Structure 1
Amino acid sequence: MIPKLQPRTDVVQSEKLTREFDDMQRLIDALNSKEIPEGIATAITQQLEPLSSQGIPVAQYTTSLKATRSSILKLVEKQLKLVPQKHHQKLWMALGMTALGLPFGVVFALMLKNFAFLGLGMPIGMGIGIGIGTKLDEQAKAEGRQLDLE
């Protein structure tokens, strides 16, 4: 079981800090709802220990929360194949736009001999990427590998 962070008195002073703190608490709740092996739970707890210090300035604490949250998500994705909701959709949307959309746009622009059509491939690539990502997200949910957070 991964322990929750203790609320700080200065959390309410900053909207950004409040949002990051709440996101971290939701991540911990989502991880605790899954069966996490003891070794990984210990590694996550060790990453959370520096955040329990009250002496960290607000700006640095916000940055540390965000970095730690990202690090934990990468760890559970790599080790346990657990991903947040819409993870694959966001990833594949960007990949579709860059890896598929730009080449399609170049082909359209060259075929029509008008570089105004260069951006035409972007929505095509985005649609293909969102389709692939949505399918992968549905597969992760069906296999129970999706965390209950976005």
Structure 2
Amino acid sequence: MKLIQLQPKMTDSMLDDKLAKAYRRLHKVLAIAETKPLSESTISKINEKVHELNASTKINGALYRLVNLTENEIITILEQDIDIVPVGHYSKKWTAVGITLYGIPFGIILGLFTHNMGLFAIGLPIGLGIGALIGRSKDAQAAAQGRQYDIAI
């Protein structure tokens, strides 16, 4: 089975538009996916996502969001099935995880301990820093193992 080709919708006339850039980035992700040995189930999942995008009648902002959503879903499929990720993937992911997993609880504990919930916000940058460090180390580990492809997200 082969991957379905992406059919851009009038993005040729929008050279500097966000939508055209999103289409080009998604096209690069699909081109990289074609070069990798994919299982039949992975190919069918990716084809389903591309078919939904090709069949969409959305325009402008709604189409831009759909293209980004499709790209993120395909990146997740590739990460789960063949364990490859784009450059900066873990940094982006772990920054958000660090804020929610470490920063918010730390801020709540600090606020409750000092009886001043205004200190809740101090935990957010601490969690951001922890998440960024974890993400950078995971990105470096993925690069050392050759599991990254050169598309910055």
Deviations 1:72-123 (A, max 9, x none): 1121111111112211111111111111112222232233333332211111
Gap regions ≥5 residues in structure 2: none
Who is 2:132 aligned against? 130
Mapped to 1, the partners of 2:74 and 2:91 lie a distance apart of 20
Deviations 1:11-44 (A, max 9, x none): 42482321221121121233345x2225234553
Letter in 2 for 1:23: R
Who is 1:12 aligned against? 13
**Preserved CA contact (<8 Å) 2:11 2:20:** no
Mapped to 2, the partners of 1:47 and 1:97 lie a distance apart of 30
Please report the TM-score for the alignment, with normalisation by the length of structure 1.
Answer: 0.77
| TM-fit CA distance, 1:58 | 3.1
Q: How does 1:35-114 map to 2 (within 5 A)?
A: 35-37=36-38, 39=40, 40-41=42-43, 43-45=45-47, 47-49=49-51, 51-52=53-54, 56=57, 58-59=59-60, 61-114=63-116
Question: Structure 1 pair 101/56, CA: closer, same or farther in 2 (3 Å)?
Answer: closer
Question: Structure 1 pair 16/108, CA: closer, same or farther in 2 (3 Å)?
Answer: same
Task: Give the superposed CA RMSD.
Answer: 2.9
Indicate the SS of the match to 1:36.
coil
Please report the TM-score for the alignment, with normalisation by the length of structure 2.
Answer: 0.75
Mapped to 2, the partners of 1:89 and 1:124 lie a distance apart of 15
Question: Structure 1 pair 61/121, CA: closer, same or farther in 2 (3 Å)?
Answer: closer
Mapped to 2, the partners of 1:68 and 1:109 lie a distance apart of 40
Question: Structure 1 pair 62/102, CA: closer, same or farther in 2 (3 Å)?
Answer: closer
